[in-house]
Amino acid sequence: MNQLDAWVGKVIDELGLAETDNQTTTILDVARDVAHQVLRPGAPVTAYLMGVAVGRGADPADVARRVSELARSWETTTR
């Protein structure tokens, strides 16, 4: 993930988010869950919504856990 880490570091710098923890692995894990269990285009939209929730004060780990659980249960709840 060297190139990805470099990119994320540049985006963090560009957006003035230096105090932000790099949650790349967590975000990728949730995006994978959504892409595989729900639908691929849902992954970036979900990542954005997670960012909004965290920006409003939600705990990042809690948001990731809840969204992953929702994605994993999606197939059984939509049938």
pTM greater than 0.85 (yes/no) = no
Please determine, for residue 5, whether its predicted confidence score (pLDDT) is greater than 80: yes
Domain boundaries, the chain: 21-77
Please determine, for residue 31, whether its predicted confidence score (pLDDT) is greater than 60: yes
List the structure tokens of 49: 């919504």
Please determine, for residue 32, whether its predicted confidence score (pLDDT) is greater than 70: yes
Mean pLDDT, residues 10-28 taken together: 85
**Angstrom distances, CA of residue 66 to CA of 4, 7, 25, 30, 53:** 25, 27, 16, 10, 12
CB atoms within 10 A of CB 47: 15
